[in-house]
Structure 1
Amino acid sequence: MDIEELIKLLKEELLLVLGESYGDYKKETKADVEAFLTLSKVKLERWTNLLQSGELTVEDYEWLLVSQKDLLILNALHQAGVSKLRLGHLKNKIIKTIVNTVITVVI
């Protein structure tokens, strides 16, 4: 598994998810997604390798991603007045998207 390719794919998928509801903030949300993926890259690589080797279950992988949720700061949407509740739902959707994308790549 090439982590650079995975990060690129995740970025594309996450921008699609964000674009569905927040297309007006595409440039700003792109920066937020890139920052999250950069901060999480080492952990994503380690966890994805463990998932691929069978040392982690999908549930474990998702739990580990949820533990990184605080690193996912959607500044552009927060500054635009999007409620904390909607941001929380969006973060959950982003995590689900990461899990589903990784599963299709490694399993």
Structure 2
Amino acid sequence: MDFEELLKLIKEELIRVLGESYSEYKEETKEDIEAFLAASRVKLERWTTLLVSEDLTVTDYEWLVKSQKDILVLEALYKAGASKRRLGHLKNKIIKTVVDTVVRAVL
């Protein structure tokens, strides 16, 4: 598994999925996604390796990725005027997309 390629795939998928629902915030979304992935990179790589080696279940992996929700600040979107409720939905969509993309790519 090439984690760099997987990270690139995750980023592309997040931008695509979020662009469909939040097109008015495309640039802000991209900045926030990049910041989240940079902050989560080491943990995502470790957890993905454990998932591939079957030392983690998909449920465990999802739980761990959800634990990163607090570092998913979405500062650029907040400054652009997105409501807290909308930001909450967006965070959930980001987490789900990361998990779904990884599971499809590595399992």
Question: Under a length normalisation based on structure 2, what TM-score does the superposition of the two structures give?
Answer: 0.94
CA distance in 2: counterparts of 1:94 and 1:29, whole angstroms: 10
The corresponding residue for 2:29 is 29
- The answer to whether residue 23 in structure 2 is matched with residue 5 in structure 1 is no
**How well do the aligned residues superpose, as a CA RMSD in angstroms?**
1.0
How many residues align? The count is 107
Question: Under a length normalisation based on structure 1, what TM-score does the superposition of the two structures give?
Answer: 0.94
Runs of 4+ in 1 over 3 A off after TM superposition: none
The gaps in structure 2 that reach 5 residues or longer are none
CA distance in 2: counterparts of 1:69 and 1:35, whole angstroms: 12
The gaps in structure 1 that reach 5 residues or longer are none
The corresponding residue for 2:47 is 47
Q: SS state of the match for residue 48, structure 1?
A: helix
What displacement does 1:100 show? Answer: 0.6
The corresponding residue for 1:90 is 90
* Identity of matched residues, %: 69
Q: Which is worse superposed, 41-50 or 13-22?
A: 13-22
Q: Can you list the C-alpha shifts for 1:66-105, whole angstroms capped at 9, x where unaligned?
A: 1100111112221122221111111111111111100011
